[in-house]
């Protein structure tokens, strides 16, 4: 049943779970798919840029590090913009950063300039992830979990579409012209879609947070304490998540299967990750965000355990598909928990903080796994390390589940 938002006893034009809400969600998915280019383009052009600037692989890779740093910090800033001025203002800021960042990358005269502008690119991309998830959660009640995961899937859809396009552009036009064209395309196409979204939102783009329903569950914790716990849990699960995602290509090389097989396994993870994200949304609408995240985390730990015992080529393909299927819905589940347990007016900011923690976890996890490999000459200990961090995530989720109490009848706040 469609649920109207009520304010002072009146029912405004917008209705939760309505056809209009699904149209908004479709536009959000398009925006996320376009804007997520900032997370993928640098990976594609890395060898070419390294050669042109006669740099080491480590130095050139700093562009990805800066993009991730911008993504994490930008998620908090654009989240605050969303909570105060609405999603349209936040995405407009993201569009500007993406356009300037890609123009700067295309015109870079030195490697340090190319690296620095990727902070802007990552910050711009952040507006199309966490804030969009939080905003989509305000449009739905019955299908909130599904909506959040669909909004989050733009990142994976972009990861499927953009890399081959960037590679084709680099081979055909050169990486500099390709970056400039990406910036121009994002500026024009995202602006058009955002204008359509703004029209769907009544011409202003700000969510009526005062009219939003109160939290579903009571975890009997202060909001800041809960945010801190979710951040620790996010770091823990993403340290575990990073082990296969960052090192599967190198792992396959060490086993003698070649980097190409590892790249195929990584693509397989992403493809099954899309399935996982959508499926976890359906699940969250039935059992809640905490239980959904707990199930995903336990399953992710099981997949890491399988990596320890099976290393044939066929088994690695199967386990990589399983890993993608298990982990894809974990990060969006944090946004669902935030909306279930925290005030709506703070949702985008709180989601941005937790997403920043997940970025830190991925960055640390990728690095520490390499350090462990260097120290032991094997990835076995790195997989065990990932399982230990994953266990911390499971423990936090179990604690929150035991504390959870469902609130009484929910009435829209005036």
Contact 34, 192 (CB under 8 A): no
What would the two tokens of residue 279 be?
């499926």
Contact 133, 150 (CB under 8 A): no
The H or E element spanning position 405 is strand 405-406
Mean pLDDT score of the chain? 86
Q: Provide the pLDDT confidence category of residue 10 given band limits of 50, 70 and 90.
A: very low
Nearest partner of 326 among 384, 394, 396, 262, judged by Cα:
394
Q: Averaged over 173-196, what is the pLDDT?
A: 96
Residue 212 confidence (pLDDT):
53
pLDDT in tens, 126-163: 999 989 988 998 898 889 889 999 998 888 888 778 88
- Give Cα separations from 162 to 36, 248, 302 (angstroms): 9, 21, 31
Q: Provide the pLDDT confidence category of residue 362 given band limits of 50, 70 and 90.
A: confident
pLDDT in tens, 218-260: 898 999 999 999 999 999 999 999 888 878 877 888 899 887 7
Q: Provide the pLDDT confidence category of residue 14 given band limits of 50, 70 and 90.
A: low
* Structural domains of the chain, ranges and CATH numbers in brackets: 3-211 (1.20.1250.20), 217-406 (1.20.1250.20)
Nearest partner of 293 among 329, 342, 245, judged by Cα:
329
Among the ranges given (7-11, 140-144, 180-184), the one the predictor scored with the smallest mean pLDDT: 7-11
Residue 34 confidence (pLDDT):
95
Residue 57 confidence (pLDDT):
65
10 phi and psi, to 5 degrees? -110, 150
CB-based burial label for 56 (10 Å; 0-12, 13-18, 19+): exposed
pLDDT in tens, 259-297: 778 878 877 887 888 888 889 999 999 999 999 999 999
Contact 139, 21 (CB under 8 A): yes
- Reported as half-sphere exposure (CB side, CA atoms, 13 A), residue 20 has a value of 16
Contact 341, 311 (CB under 8 A): no
The DSSP string of 121-169 is HHHHHHTTTHHHHHHHHTS-STTHHHHHHHHHTHHHHHHHHHHHHHHHH
Residue 2 confidence (pLDDT):
53
The residues near 101 (Cβ < 8 Å, ≥ 6 apart) are 38, 117, 118, 119, 120, 121, 124, 183
Looking at the DSSP assignment, which residues form a beta bridge with residue 405?
218
Looking at the DSSP assignment, which residues form a beta bridge with residue 15?
4
Residue 407 confidence (pLDDT):
64
Q: Averaged over 316-339, what is the pLDDT?
A: 91
Residue 208 confidence (pLDDT):
47
- Reported as half-sphere exposure (CB side, CA atoms, 13 A), residue 22 has a value of 6
Q: Could you give the CA distance from residue 190 to residue 322 in angstroms, rounded to a whole number?
A: 34
**More confident site: 6 or 378:** 378
Decide: pTM greater than 0.85: no
Nearest partner of 1 among 20, 15, 22, judged by Cα:
15
Q: Could you give the CA distance from residue 17 to residue 139 in angstroms, rounded to a whole number?
A: 7
């Amino acid at each position: 049943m469609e649920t109207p938002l009520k304010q002072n006893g009146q029912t405004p034009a917008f209705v939760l779970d309505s056809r209009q809400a699904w149209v908004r969600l479709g536009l959000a998915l398009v925006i996320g798919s376009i804007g997520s280019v900032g997370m993928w383009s640098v990976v594609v052009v890395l060898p070419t840029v390294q050669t042109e600037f006669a740099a080491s692989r480590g130095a050139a890779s700093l562009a990805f590090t800066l993009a991730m740093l911008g993504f994490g910090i930008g998620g908090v800033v654009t989240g605050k913009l969303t909570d105060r001025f609405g999603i349209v203002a936040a995405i407009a800021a993201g569009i500007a950063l993406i356009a300037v960042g890609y123009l700067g990358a295309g015109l870079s005269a030195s490697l340090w300039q190319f690296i620095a502008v990727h902070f802007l690119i990552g910050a711009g991309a952040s507006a199309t992830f966490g804030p969009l998830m939080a905003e989509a959660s305000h449009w739905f009640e019955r299908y909130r979990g599904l909506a959040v995961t669909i909004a989050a899937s733009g990142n994976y859809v972009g990861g499927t579409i953009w890399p081959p396009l960037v590679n084709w552009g680099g081979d055909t036009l050169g990486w500099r012209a390709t970056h400039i064209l990406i910036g121009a395309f994002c500026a024009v196409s995202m602006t058009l879609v955002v204008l359509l979204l703004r029209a769907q939102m009544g011409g202003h783009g700000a969510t009526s947070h005062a009219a939003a329903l109160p939290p579903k569950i009571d975890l009997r914790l202060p909001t800041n304490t809960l945010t801190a716990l979710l951040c620790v849990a996010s770091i823990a699960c993403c340290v575990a998540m990073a082990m296969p995602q960052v090192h599967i290509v190198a792992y396959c090389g060490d086993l003698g299967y070649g980097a190409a097989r590892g790249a195929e396994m990584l693509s397989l993870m992403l493809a099954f990750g899309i399935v996982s994200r959508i499926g976890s949304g359906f699940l969250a609408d039935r059992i809640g965000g905490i239980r959904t995240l707990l199930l995903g985390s336990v399953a992710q730990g099981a997949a890491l355990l399988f990596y320890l015992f099976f290393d044939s080529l066929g088994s690695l393909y199967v386990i990589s598909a399983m890993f993608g299927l298990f982990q894809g819905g974990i990060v969006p589940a944090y946004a669902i928990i935030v909306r279930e347990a925290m005030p709506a007016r703070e949702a985008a900011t709180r989601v941005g903080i937790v997403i920043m923690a997940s970025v830190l976890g991925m960055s640390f996890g990728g690095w520490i796994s390499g350090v462990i490999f260097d120290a032991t000459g094997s990835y076995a200990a790195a997989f065990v390390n990932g399982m230990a961090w994953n266990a911390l995530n499971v423990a936090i989720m179990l604690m929150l589940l035991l504390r959870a109490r469902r609130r009484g009848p929910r009435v829209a706040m005036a």
